[in-house]
Amino acid sequence: MLEIKNLTKVFGEGEDSFVAVNKINLKVNQGEFVVLIGPSGCGKTTTLKMINHLVEPTSGDILINGTSTKEKNVVELRRAIGYVIQNIGLFPHLTIAANVEIVPKLNKMDKVKRRKKTFELLEMVGLDPDIYANRYPTELSGGQQQRIGVLRALAADQDLILMDEPFGALDPITRVQLQDEMKDLQKRLDKTIIFVTHDIDEAIKVADKIVLMKDGKIVQAASPKEMLKEPANEYVREFIGEERLVPEPDTTPVSEVMVLEPLIVNIDSTAKNVFKKMQKYSADIAVAVDDNKRFTGLVSANQIQIQQRKNTTLQQIIQGKPQSVRSNTTIRDAAETLANETRVLCVVDKKQRPVGLVSRTTLLRGIVDIWDESNAG
Over residues 24-57, the pLDDT tens digits come to 999 999 999 999 999 989 999 999 999 999 999 9
Cβ atoms of 209 and 220 closer than 8 Å = no
Give the pLDDT of residue 342: 63
Query: What whole-number distance in Å separates Cα of residue 225 and Cα of residue 50?
Result: 28
State how beta strands 295-300 and 354-359 pair: unpaired
Query: What whole-number distance in Å separates Cα of residue 47 and Cα of residue 296?
Result: 47
Over residues 243-267, the pLDDT tens digits come to 433 344 555 777 777 888 889 999 9
Give the pLDDT of residue 221: 95
Q: Give the ranges where the chain is alpha helix by DSSP (H).
A: 44-51, 74-79, 96-100, 102-106, 111-124, 129-132, 142-154, 172-189, 200-206, 224-229, 234-240, 271-280, 301-305, 314-317, 331-340, 360-376
Over residues 57-106, the pLDDT tens digits come to 999 999 999 899 998 889 888 888 888 877 777 898 999 999 999 888 88
CATH topology identical between 2-240 and 254-368: no
Q: Which CATH class is domain 254-368?
A: alpha beta
CATH number of 2-240: 3.40.50.300
What are the domain boundaries of the chain?
Answer: 2-240, 254-368
Burial class (CB in 10 A: 0-12, 13-18, 19+), 135: middle
Query: What whole-number distance in Å separates Cα of residue 99 and Cα of residue 310?
Result: 27
Query: What whole-number distance in Å separates Cα of residue 55 and Cα of residue 9?
Result: 9
Those residues whose C-beta lies under 8 Å from the C-beta of residue 134, and which sit 6 or more positions away, are 95, 96, 97
Residue type, 121: L
